[in-house]
Amino acid sequence: MGFSQIAVNSFLGAAAEAREPLPQTGVKMSGTGADILAETLRAAGVDYIFGTSATGMSPFFDSLTINNDMQFISSIAESQATSMAHGYELVTGKTAVLFVPGVAIPSAMNNLYNAWKDRSSIAVLSDGSSSNFAGRNGFQQMDDWLDPMTQFTKWQWQVNNERQISEMLRRTIKLAETPPGGPVYLRFPGFLLSKPNIKQTIYPQSRFKIPMELYPKPELIEATARALLEAKKPLLCVGHEVTRARANQDVLELAELLGIRMAQGYSVFGDIPFRHPLFSGFYGLGVPRGLSNTDVFLNLGAPMPDPTIFTAPVPSKAKVIHARIEYDEIANTYPTDIAIAAGMKETVTAIKDSVQALATEGQIK
């Protein structure tokens, strides 16, 4: 991921100097486009910016010196900078900021693919060549710099209107961090960062944050609880959405409540302890023990088992229950008996409470 253990500990342990909180009504300011960009990042609580350097980014480097509370962590290659931003997001759970030269975006895309697959929240920023003579196949020109990024980003935009610098950067951060997360790309033409006397209101990013406590339907939770209580050989498949929701302990408590086997789904994280007595193996790049006997399969925040991740399918006799916050991944390939589109922590907590309410004394382990 581009980090040494020392660097990881530094990120987790360092306490950033307290910043004066912005009023909810925002603060009006005037400066270069780069000044507006830097102050918007500061208002979003950004501590680190990963990237490389180029002539077109010089105004931004100047803006960083106005206040010394954000650190630019430079790499010798854009692919490495992308991996560091990806690793930072995985370690901290915070949206990472990546700033690279516009012409180097194809290089950044190599590892941006990994961040996209891991649903890592990264605000990807770049400068861009002047658009005064676009369409001439000139130096650092191509017809469309945004289109190549559509495969690996949730949204892409080029800011041509100076009045929208802060607005579009706030949107980029909001979209990147809203679950399911992912990279978002924002491009600034070369003239915009250095343009002086731009007036803008800088708002705290918290004014644009979307609460994501998404509760499941009670009738689906009760049906899931009854299915688990009636099952002879249930299996939990646990994925990255559980870790991102900080619901790992809740999953363990649910499994231990009924003695349910747990399998690690295909994930960038270790979402369950591999030495736990109920751990039955990996369901992705492997096959969990006792799979063929499974009669209820509860997938919590993981991709469904598929030949593309080198594993066996869910037994056809098993009742399939699929819970994801990324709802468009539910019921794509398997006939699904119970489909739950909700947050993982809310879902697991609700299932656990329902099981406790419905179970007889002999069913609780």
Q: Which of 162, 184, 207 is the last residue of a domain?
A: 207
pLDDT for 180 beyond 60? yes
Number of separate domains in the chain: 2
**39 and 170 share one domain:** yes
pLDDT for 3 beyond 60? no
pLDDT for 34 beyond 60? yes
Q: Which of 207, 241, 268 is the last residue of a domain?
A: 207
Q: Is residue 341 part of a domain?
A: yes
CATH number at 243 reads 3.40.50.1220
Distance between CA atoms of 31 and 359, rounded to whole angstroms? 64
Q: Is residue 213 part of a domain?
A: no
pLDDT for 11 beyond 90? no
Task: List the beta bridge partners of residue 283.
Answer: 265
Domain that holds residue 42: 5-207
**11 and 73 share one domain:** yes
**232 and 108 share one domain:** no
The residues near 331 (Cβ < 8 Å, ≥ 6 apart) are 322, 339
- Looking at residue 82, the DSSP 8-state letter turns out to be H
**Res 35: pLDDT:** 96
**Res 365: pLDDT:** 74
Structural contact between residues 165 and 33, judged by C-beta atoms closer than 8 angstroms: yes
**Res 19: pLDDT:** 66
Q: In what order do the strands lie in the sheet with 296-300?
A: 279-283, 261-265, 234-238, 296-300, 319-324, 338-341
Q: Which of 150, 174, 207 is the last residue of a domain?
A: 207
Distance between CA atoms of 229 and 103, rounded to whole angstroms? 57
Residue bearing the bigger pLDDT, 189 or 348: 348
Residue bearing the bigger pLDDT, 37 or 19: 37
Distance between CA atoms of 16 and 139, rounded to whole angstroms? 41
**253 and 133 share one domain:** no
**Res 2: pLDDT:** 47
**245 and 117 share one domain:** no
CATH number at 102 reads 3.40.50.970
Distance between CA atoms of 294 and 195, rounded to whole angstroms? 63
List pLDDT tens digits, range 112-143: 999 999 999 999 999 987 666 677 777 677 77
pLDDT for 195 beyond 80? yes
pLDDT for 1 beyond 50? no
List pLDDT tens digits, range 302-347: 999 999 989 999 999 999 999 999 999 999 999 999 999 999 999 9
Structure tokens given for 139 = 């130096």
List pLDDT tens digits, range 212-234: 899 999 999 999 999 999 999 99
* DSSP codes joined into one string, 180-228: S--EEEEEEEHHHHH---EEEEEPPGGGGPPP---PPPHHHHHHHHHHH
**169 and 228 share one domain:** no
List pLDDT tens digits, range 85-102: 999 999 999 999 999 999
Structural contact between residues 313 and 305, judged by C-beta atoms closer than 8 angstroms: yes
**223 and 333 share one domain:** yes
Amino acid at 163: R
- Spatial CA neighbour of 109 closest among 135, 309, 98: 98
**12 and 32 share one domain:** yes
**118 and 9 share one domain:** yes
**194 and 224 share one domain:** no
- What average pLDDT does this structure show over 14-40? 83
Least confident range of 66-75, 180-189, 194-203, 333-342: 66-75
- What average pLDDT does this structure show over 180-197? 94
Q: What are the CA-CA distances from residue 112 to residues 49, 116, 189 (Å)?
A: 16, 6, 21
- What average pLDDT does this structure show over 150-163? 95
